[in-house]
Structure 1
């Protein structure tokens, strides 16, 4: 099979540059033509009175008399030129002084040259106008008068083509879209049983789960024209432009049917109608109305399948979600451990791996990661290996990359005093100790006092398996875990030495307790009801009441229940740390010595066992220089305990 090379298309930018250079060259020629008509012979410019004086002195040898200009030479050979008035005595003076003079005939300009001089400016203007109009017709979507044209681009991926083989971890979503591809390839397979091709498929999922990748895979598999556009490309400042673009997009799609149109971030144009202030007759709503009509109106658009993606399906207009427009809503979830293993296998094909790399182990340690997070993890591991000059990416690089992605990069250059390091060590030791002794806490994975991201230290707990819900026991254990760091500092240093490092812990605990009371029905006094805050929203400078479903008495009861949960969590954490104070000291001292401990190492330390590290593997406390902190304490969240990304 011989592959014929396509002719190389000219660069539009270079073509436009050549046209403008031609116009500039024409202007230069035009100016030079006028300059040539007025150019005079080389020579010194002298006054006419000086010319007459030199004639009287006999110093002029020859002169050429033209129309208002006299050019000539002196006896010494020097050339001169002067502007001559109408002097009737000039010929007589030159004859008396024996000056050789000649009369130049007046230059005769042809009729066509006169016409060219006069018409050249108009020809330039017409040429520029023709060029602008041609560019507007060629690039209708971006031209000055083409803002009503669709900006949808036809996708033709000949290199880097994506297929369903490149999509892993979301098998159910892939199967539903595979059926659409099969329908496009062989419509009779479904039509003979009375089936109709779906008009639209809405991909719903969190950011990074692979919605756009799925759409690219459809384009690679279907072998039909594939148009792609963003929802924000429809909306402009002029009312009616978006609707015009929708009409033009469907006209292009009809010419190429059967085809697929992919609209990314459709929530930019498909939000609820009438949700804002005013009469609702705005640009976005007109665009949505036109989109609804084109998808399922009086005029049938056979063979056009709309695939859209969004991570905010709750804000979409109900008319957009009904069958006949988006017949299918395909949920693209975060992958489970099996899916993460498959996704890692896809991305690991592109890098050289060491024999000790186990994708299953990495997948088990990354609960809640999306496909984009896993791709970033593999890329970070490859970059770390390249930075170290390695030829293969080992498991150590994957572990370091996982810590960097989940907890942030190590801030090794941050200056901390020994007192701040010691307070951070006891803070993180308190979190770790509570997680080891309170039933319901996730297993301890790692604890470190090395500053990462915005935190001075991190305690990292990972669930044993993917979690999709939490019990009241687990949430209360997590509340106690939040206060382990602050109470440990209080026990060691007292109330007067408490710092601002626990602000993030307090915020997490307060939000979780309020959700337990108001959303999850975990309060006996308030029952199984969902409550909402009496919050106000500021819109265009005016305060607008959002919800008024909570009375003053109920709000007080909510605050009492939130405080009760917080106080119970504080009591649980204080009891654990008081009863295991010796373990707190051992763990805090180990963190000051080693700075980073795994969960298994922390368990051996609190039992008094040796963790088996050599001195070379420990990080001495002097790794962080002493001295004042470079960040004000009020701006350092500090000491927060790490939690996995939400499932």
Structure 2
């Protein structure tokens, strides 16, 4: 065990045991309090009898001894039985006892001592103070240790090795980020190595990336590799409703870190406290800006904090204050991107270590079918597959569970219990078949992975297309292909059911196509009429902190031209999809019939069907084979009514 491990071990008894001991002490004090007040009655032991019965026993001669103390009479019968009674101010009692030869003695009436009186009077007050002290102590712990209710104390948590040590072996898919942070690990292990040459390690590293890409995991891995204490806190934990609390917590956090140096302080979601100053209300004197000012001073002010490495994470680096990003503070920005296919393979293999796998599971096949997934998405995919296998009572997780889990994550859960009429199913089948046929005949379109008319999530059907490889740019021909595919469902409804029977199911398709066409015209300069100019403002922080892509202030003529170009692109894609579906209407009928028969078709099955080979599932549980493309379906099988809301094409 090294010194750091010794330092991180908690001192004293378990907090749960301490709380239990406090409550046991309180209950014991209450029991003592009740017992002390009951002392007199317990001392006066014996069976209580009436005064008349006592006189009768005296007359009978069955009383052996009597002790008189004030109005209380205790004694012993001839059979050694104890008794107790109370005198009724009888002046003849003494003479009666003498006549019957009863031995009696007079005692002064017992009263509590002065110490007991003081204890009786002070015990309730002391008990109240003890309970109040315990409650206040618990409130201080819940709001931060120490201080007046702990408002000014840091809420940073010190993670120890007992909570799960994380190293670079547990981080996959972000090799470049790991290499860039390896220097920090070497500095924490051997600071003198850099000091000999006059080098200074960066005081702060800013991890930038989309949510779920592994920024927090990477920060913990640095601490695990270096074997140093790791403090973690969220940016929102600094800011309170009281002015000055955040700055006090920043000071306290650095004080704690100095005691454990060398160490790592990880601030998650730093954009909650590190936004541009002057963008809020209060003339720059609000609580958030004071907290940011204190953080800037602590990181690179007059007081040097040697051995403290600040690592922060955010997915919005554009809103951070420039003073945070200058050299001496967060002077090293590490981009943590979404993993490529090789990175996804490594990430899946890391998460599969704890899952019993069947022999048919291939991590590379799963990685190829999950483009754009982050590390958190892949972890969720493996977990969903394990849950599905457990639900089915299997001992191993097979490839079928991973495929089902992938469909669930990407398309949503199946809603097989949803009741749909035959007309609605046929409308959905032709809608999705329209998307698929256009995608097959557009050379720049991504291959079809799966088509289904089973409701999933909020969609009543879906055509999923997956790229063959990771794409890092968006080409013009692919944009036009995606626009045509998005119009395929709407066009198929119009061709098969007529102009008056077109449904509202293409609303999300139209929204997607309009947004893509607007970006082509206003952001990417892909309009011949408007030229390579940008007509949309980039994302920027406004007065209230809201950011979005907003149209620039253009002239009325330019705005009309922009609208005309957007309409031209969308309508042209509509005409392109209509031409393709008209030329291949037989394929449209065949694919719709196959979807009605099987409900879900894979991309390979769709290709075989269009190539004229047909689909044969007679060996399984499915019904008869579906005819190949070119054969017609009976007129009575075609939809006759409108459909409420078919699903988007899933591009």
TM-score by length of 1: 0.85
Partner of 2:505: 501
CA distance in 2, matches of 1:113, 1:265: 61
Partner of 2:276: 272
Aligned residues of 2:356 and 2:397 also touching (Cα < 8 A) = yes
Q: What is the deviation of 1:213? A: 1.1
Q: What is the deviation of 1:95? A: 7.7
**Is 2:351 the counterpart of 1:343?**
no
CA distance in 2, matches of 1:520, 1:526: 11
Q: 2:207 aligns with which of 203, 206, 214?
A: 203
**Is 2:643 the counterpart of 1:640?**
no
Superposed CA offset, 1:529-553 (max 9, x none): 3334899x9999xxxx987724554
Superposed CA offset, 1:514-571 (max 9, x none): 2222222222333333334899x9999xxxx987724554444333322222211211
**Is 2:54 the counterpart of 1:17?**
no
Q: 2:184 aligns with which of 180, 184, 207?
A: 180
Superposed CA offset, 1:606-646 (max 9, x none): 2332233325253799xxxxxxxxxxx99x85421223xxx
Partner of 1:630: none
CA distance in 2, matches of 1:307, 1:556: 49
Aligned residues of 2:168 and 2:221 also touching (Cα < 8 A) = yes
CA distance in 1, matches of 2:550, 2:403: 46
Partner of 2:228: 224
**Is 2:30 the counterpart of 1:27?**
yes
**Is 2:567 the counterpart of 1:563?**
yes
Partner of 2:263: 259
Superposed CA offset, 1:109-162 (max 9, x none): 333323322332344345446656776888882456222111222222246322
Aligned residues of 2:228 and 2:262 also touching (Cα < 8 A) = yes
CA distance in 2, matches of 1:42, 1:516: 102
Q: 1:375 aligns with which of 372, 379, 396?
A: 379
Partner of 1:624: none
Aligned residues of 2:271 and 2:317 also touching (Cα < 8 A) = yes
Q: 1:592 aligns with which of 581, 591, 596?
A: 596
Pairwise mapping of residues 80-119 of structure 1 onto structure 2 (< 5 A)? 81=85, 84=88, 87=89, 91=93, 103=106, 105-119=108-122
CA distance in 2, matches of 1:120, 1:593: 84
CA distance in 2, matches of 1:601, 1:556: 46
Task: Flag the 1:547–1:71 CA change in 2: closer, same or farther, 3 A.
Answer: farther
CA distance in 1, matches of 2:110, 2:359: 92
Task: Flag the 1:69–1:577 CA change in 2: closer, same or farther, 3 A.
Answer: same
Please, which runs of 5 or more residues in structure 2 have no aligned partner? 626-641
Q: 1:490 aligns with which of 494, 500, 515?
A: 494
Q: What is the deviation of 1:91? A: 4.7
CA distance in 2, matches of 1:54, 1:274: 97
CA distance in 1, matches of 2:398, 2:45: 82
Q: What is the deviation of 1:421? A: 1.1
**Is 2:304 the counterpart of 1:300?**
yes
Aligned residues of 2:465 and 2:650 also touching (Cα < 8 A) = yes
Q: What is the deviation of 1:332? A: 0.3
Aligned residues of 1:534 and 1:546 also touching (Cα < 8 A) = yes
Aligned residues of 1:204 and 1:311 also touching (Cα < 8 A) = yes
Between 385-394 and 568-577, report the one with greater CA deviation. Answer: 385-394
* SS of match in other structure, 1:514: helix
TM-score by length of 2: 0.85
Q: What is the deviation of 1:496? A: 3.2
* SS of match in other structure, 2:528: coil
Q: 1:414 aligns with which of 404, 414, 418?
A: 418
Pairwise mapping of residues 604-643 of structure 1 onto structure 2 (< 5 A)? 604-614=608-618, 616-618=620-622, 638-643=646-651
Aligned residues of 1:426 and 1:488 also touching (Cα < 8 A) = yes
**Is 2:580 the counterpart of 1:572?**
no
CA distance in 2, matches of 1:456, 1:171: 40
CA distance in 2, matches of 1:235, 1:211: 22
CA distance in 2, matches of 1:488, 1:113: 97
The alignment yields a C-alpha RMSD, in angstroms, of 3.8
Partner of 1:625: none
* SS of match in other structure, 1:500: coil
Between 486-495 and 364-373, report the one with greater CA deviation. Answer: 486-495
Task: Flag the 1:190–1:54 CA change in 2: closer, same or farther, 3 A.
Answer: closer
CA distance in 1, matches of 2:101, 2:152: 77
Partner of 1:512: 516
Q: What is the deviation of 1:188? A: 3.9
CA distance in 2, matches of 1:638, 1:68: 97
Task: Flag the 1:637–1:300 CA change in 2: closer, same or farther, 3 A.
Answer: farther
CA distance in 2, matches of 1:604, 1:227: 58
Aligned residues of 1:534 and 1:548 also touching (Cα < 8 A) = no
CA distance in 1, matches of 2:278, 2:598: 60
Task: Flag the 1:66–1:550 CA change in 2: closer, same or farther, 3 A.
Answer: farther
Between 117-126 and 356-365, report the one with greater CA deviation. Answer: 117-126
* SS of match in other structure, 2:13: coil
**Is 2:475 the counterpart of 1:471?**
yes
Partner of 2:316: 312
Pairwise mapping of residues 189-200 of structure 1 onto structure 2 (< 5 A)? 189-200=193-204
Q: What is the deviation of 1:426? A: 0.6
Q: What is the deviation of 1:326? A: 0.5
CA distance in 2, matches of 1:28, 1:236: 43
Partner of 2:165: 161
**Count of residue correspondences:** 619
Task: Flag the 1:587–1:24 CA change in 2: closer, same or farther, 3 A.
Answer: same
* SS of match in other structure, 2:505: helix
CA distance in 1, matches of 2:113, 2:464: 92
Between 287-296 and 511-520, report the one with greater CA deviation. Answer: 511-520
Task: Flag the 1:221–1:92 CA change in 2: closer, same or farther, 3 A.
Answer: closer
Partner of 1:234: 238
Task: Flag the 1:571–1:291 CA change in 2: closer, same or farther, 3 A.
Answer: same
